Amino acid sequence: MRRTSIELADGRELIYFDERDDAVRDQPDRRELPAVPPAAQLRHDPLTDEWVAIAAHRQSRTFLPPADQCPLCPSTPERLSEIPAPAYDVAVFENRFPAFGQRVADEPAEITAFTPVRPGRGRCEVVCFTDDHQMSFAELSPGRVRTVLDALADRTTVLGALPGVEQVFCFENRGVEIGVTLHHPHGQIYGYPFLPPRTRSLLAAARRHAERTGGGNLYADVLAAERAAGDRVVAANDHWTAYVPAAARWPFEVHVAPHRAVPDLPALSDAERDAFGPLYLELLGRLDRLFDRPMPYISAWHQAPVHEGRELAHLHLQLFSNRRAADKLKYLAGSESAMGVFLNDITPEQAATLLRG
């Protein structure tokens, strides 16, 4: 894989990840662009002990443009996009409308005595999986999935070394039902300047388990139990298992985990990286065939934080959809949105059986 970094017209970085070593990436960005807005303002909620990012500039971000105006397609002589090259394999660039970034504004120390404020120093990037606007991740080749995985591992290492970044989160949103704003197959990477609530909860549970068991890894133990039970396993190979968690929150939710306990994507071996693609593509195909229509989903990599609790973590991918039937969606209504208590209409065992079939 060849890695080439260039600078876009407004100073943002773009990195090409090419599958050919002889790729030449010397096309300049010829656009005239406004300055990149500063990062979000972070406000601490004293009632929940959580940080909230206030990013008003994101209200004007691009929203579901037609295919001939897609900012993630390659540039042409008639239309310039975020990607100056006329073709590419995988491309990663700094988000033009970032929630977190290294460009920060002066912030007050607090809103009230109970609400501290600080700048959202971190980084947000967009990952383009292919230059083909009409494709989906499920239609990529296993080789391209490997390139994407290598790109995510590269960015995890780079973002994790930035000042203020506490966790690197790689994810893909697919489908208007799930909330995408661009149809082109792409994902995102967030370098968070704090530990997200989900990670804090996972670490706390893992820490309690380690204390009870004399050092056991909670996720590794849960994975072993699911593999032994087998009734919620959807697919597996020598290095990975895909299973529906016994307490799944979403109608169709699958965890994809390496058998070896590793903290993050950079720690995966070549064999583990090669084995991921075929299994994951099979899983995405099963989801799309379930209702004979493209399945909306969120695909989220849970990695170890940069500094805290790395020994407690176990890398895994959480893949879930809000579609509960061919013509029905799962909405986060009162219980889920206000209280964080999920009500699932499909048993995990039934979901696993449907996906296996």
3-state secondary structure 114-132: CEEEEECECEEEEEECCCC
Is 133 annotated in some ligand binding site? yes
Question: In order along the chain (357 residues), what is the average pLDDT of each group of 10 residues?
Answer: 98 98 96 95 97 93 94 97 98 97 89 94 98 98 98 98 97 96 97 98 98 98 98 98 98 98 98 98 98 98 97 98 97 96 97 97
Q: Look up 186 and say whether it is catalytic.
A: yes
Is 316 annotated in some ligand binding site? no
Which of 195, 182, 150, 152 lies closest to 170 in space, CA to CA?
152
Please determine whether the domains at 2-197 and 213-356 fall in the same fold group of CATH.
Answer: yes
From the list 186, 255, 302, 316, the catalytic residue is 186
Q: What is the pLDDT, as a whole number, of residue 60? A: 85
The answer to whether 254 and 295 are in contact (CB under 8 A) is no
Is 124 annotated in some ligand binding site? no
Which of 145, 178, 141 lies closest to 320 in space, CA to CA?
178
Is 73 annotated in some ligand binding site? yes
For the chain, what are the domain ranges?
Answer: 2-197, 213-356
Which of 206, 250, 211, 253 lies closest to 234 in space, CA to CA?
253
DSSP state of 262: -
- Cα 261 to the center of its chain, rounded Å: 20
CATH superfamily of 213-356: HIT-like (3.30.428.10)
- Containing H/E element for 284? helix 270-290
Q: What is the pLDDT, as a whole number, of residue 304? A: 98
pTM score over 0.75: yes
The answer to whether 90 and 127 are in contact (CB under 8 A) is yes
Residue type present at position 264: D
Cβ density class 188-206: b for 16+ within 10 Å, e for less: bbbbbbbbbeebbebbeeb
Paired tokens of 205: 């549970």
Q: What is the pLDDT, as a whole number, of residue 108? A: 86
- The CATH architecture of the domain made up of 2-197 is 2-Layer Sandwich (3.30)
Task: Give the C-alpha separation, 98 to 35, whole Å.
Answer: 12
Three-class DSSP category at 203: helix
